[in-house]
Structure 1
Amino acid sequence: MATNTPNLECRMYEAKYPEVDMAVMIQVKNIADMGAYVSLLEYNNIEGMILFSELSRRRIRSVSSLIKVGRIEPVMVLRVDKEKGYIDLSKRRVSDEEIEACEERYNKSKLVHSIMRHVAETMQVDLEDLYIHVGWPLYRKYGHAFEAFKLIVADPDSVLNSFTREIKEVGPDGQEVTKVVPAMSEDVKVALLKNIRRRMTAQPLKIRADIEMKCFQFDGVLHIKEAMRKAEAAGNNDCPVKIKLVAPPLYVLTTQTLDKEQGISVLNNAIKACTEAIESEKGKLTVKEAPRAVSEREDKLLPENMPNPNEEVSGEEVSEEEDTGMGEIDLENTATGITE
């Protein structure tokens, strides 16, 4: 499969052209007198055209409001002339259901294509050859290569070992013979598995909630620490809960999970346990931000914006001398009955 100058351009699907009445993903390249010229992204950017009359069912007041250079969107295939390479497309005839299905298919195909192209580039193999012997057979057998890639993450051999290719060799007698070999070399297979696992393995979501917690009672710090322990105890092996002090009286609860709904539910239970614990000591808990999935950037945004933020510390590390929302009370003097 290796060549000195491997081809890295290839369509995503085995068919060279889309079928009539099929929704395809396009990118607008330029706007001419009669319509817009576009590239069909799933078919190696072959050219198609959308006439202005196919932009909208309504009267067109402004073409620029309906179509813009660079925009990516689904359209319907009206006509395909394979001999001349003409493809006529329509924006106004594609339904909402077809748009949704096209976007879902394209997003899966784009991920598959990205993995395939990266393997071809790093292993110096021809991308179309890789599609012919691996990618397109996976599409045929599993409906979409994306579905096959999901299976490969768990059990690669059962999916990939069934694919072979025929090569011709000259035998000892000088006669040409046909030999059946694996569809790809072991090196290419290892590279493909590595890329599939890296890109397809589900990543844990970070779920976060922001609360304010105060307790003005004697030994309020201890009551807050106990409430924090109750919150963390509400977690489980799949969704361990951590609660940290950001800056008095602000605390953050977090968990990581593959199941977003489960993570939100666990944090809600943690907040409930924390609330019950602190209110039993006449303290108060206010939810500032309900549990939600956050990115790493969002997770860091709050402490960065705090005026004089303290370093985050866990529930076991809050010192008893630290001001954690008990106002100006001097714990040491209060304990001995001394006031200023």
Structure 2
Amino acid sequence: VSEIASSWIRNIRDYVREGQKVVLKVLRVDPEKGHIDLSLRRVTKREKIEKMLSWKRERKAEGLLRSVAERAGLSVEELYEKAGAIIDERYGLYEGFEKAAVEGVEVLTKIGVPEDLAEFFVEVAREKIRLPSVKVRGIVELRCLRPDGVKVIKEAFLNAKKSEKVRDADVKLYVVAAPRYCIEVSSDNYKRAESVLQKIAEAVISNVVKAGGHGTFRREK
């Protein structure tokens, strides 16, 4: 390592220690001498963070691949040749596992991964990857002038929340200030969260309209 810091170095252990993992930039390579000239100083803080995150994801992907190989009865090398390389080239290996966890078998089979192996990838991904949750919300304005109007609106929300269309999402409904009500949807998939939000709003408004009322929906940013 030819460049450690921009200032005078009294003790190299103030910057790097034995066994420590550091991000370095390659300056020159001399194949004849077997030398690689590296720089610590020229690596920005952002580059360090991005590279360490990438390295951690690669390590996780290797562990996930080993789990899939065990379940499939293959060596890691065989599995990588049959499926891992395809996923790695198209999505990146860890990103492929994330997609498998969210979108299921089809996201792998459509790029050429054998279905039996794709099922193992999805199984392992959903067991071992914790996906970040996304949250979307919108406001419905509902009015029903019937004597039991409040009951109509309450039942419209309950029926919409029980629908099969809202599976795989966490839904919260609460009053902002009548006649305004908030629908809040959390999911590990943004498109699914948006879809559930839209379907609940449509179902609620439809039920209120059927009872003689009316309603509008506005997606909150």
TM-score by length of 2: 0.51
Q: 1:93 aligns with which of 11, 18, 42?
A: 42
1:110 to partner: Cα distance: 2.2
Q: Give, in whole Å, the separation in 2 of the partners of 1:83 and 1:258.
A: 55
Q: Decide which structure has greater helix share.
A: 2
Q: 1:108 aligns with which of 57, 66, 69?
A: 57
Identity %: 26
Question: Secondary structure of 2:74's match?
Answer: coil
Q: Could you tell me which residue of structure 2 aligns to residue 193 of structure 1?
A: 122
Q: Which runs of 5+ in 1 are unaligned?
A: 1-50, 165-182, 205-236, 241-256, 260-340
Q: Could you tell me which residue of structure 1 aligns to residue 22 of structure 2?
A: 73
Question: Secondary structure of 1:71's match?
Answer: coil
Q: Could you tell me which residue of structure 1 aligns to residue 106 of structure 2?
A: 158
1:161 to partner: Cα distance: 1.1
Deviations 1:82-101 (A, max 9, x none): 78875443212111121122
Deviations 1:292-337 (A, max 9, x none): xxxxxxxxxxxxxxxxxxxxxxxxxxxxxxxxxxxxxxxxxxxxxx
Deviations 1:217-244 (A, max 9, x none): xxxxxxxxxxxxxxxxxxxx7579xxxx
- Asked if 2 retains the 8 angstrom alpha-carbon contact of 1:152 and 1:159, the reply is yes
Relative contact order higher in (CA < 8 Å, ≥ 6 apart): 2
2:63 alignment partner AA: S
Label 1:136 to 1:89 Cα distance change in 2 as closer, same or farther (>3 A).
Answer: farther
Label 1:122 to 1:94 Cα distance change in 2 as closer, same or farther (>3 A).
Answer: same
2:123 alignment partner AA: K
Q: Give, in whole Å, the separation in 2 of the partners of 1:102 and 1:94.
A: 10
- Asked if 1 retains the 8 angstrom alpha-carbon contact of 2:109 and 2:118, the reply is no
2:27 alignment partner AA: L
Give the ranges of 4+ consecutive aligned residues of structure 1 lying more than 3 Å apart after TM superposition: 79-88, 121-124, 201-204, 237-240
Question: Secondary structure of 2:119's match?
Answer: helix
Deviations 1:151-195 (A, max 9, x none): 21233332211344xxxxxxxxxxxxxxxxxx4572x43332221
Q: Give, in whole Å, the separation in 1 of the partners of 2:40 and 2:123.
A: 39
Question: Secondary structure of 1:151's match?
Answer: helix
Q: Could you tell me which residue of structure 2 aligns to residue 39 of structure 1?
A: none
Structure 1 segment 306-325 matched on structure 2, within 5 A = none
Q: Which structure has the bigger radius of gyration?
A: 1
Deviations 1:15-69 (A, max 9, x none): xxxxxxxxxxxxxxxxxxxxxxxxxxxxxxxxxxxx2x32222221001211112
Q: Decide which structure has greater strand share.
A: 1
The total of aligned residue pairs comes to: 140
Structure 1 segment 215-254 matched on structure 2, within 5 A = 238=171
Q: 2:76 aligns with which of 127, 144, 147?
A: 127
- Asked if 1 retains the 8 angstrom alpha-carbon contact of 2:105 and 2:122, the reply is no
Quote the RMSD (CA, aligned, Å): 3.3
Q: Could you tell me which residue of structure 2 aligns to residue 7 of structure 1?
A: none
1:122 to partner: Cα distance: 4.7
Q: Give, in whole Å, the separation in 2 of the partners of 1:258 and 1:72.
A: 35
Q: Which runs of 5+ in 2 are unaligned?
A: 134-169, 174-185, 189-221
- Asked if 1 retains the 8 angstrom alpha-carbon contact of 2:100 and 2:122, the reply is yes
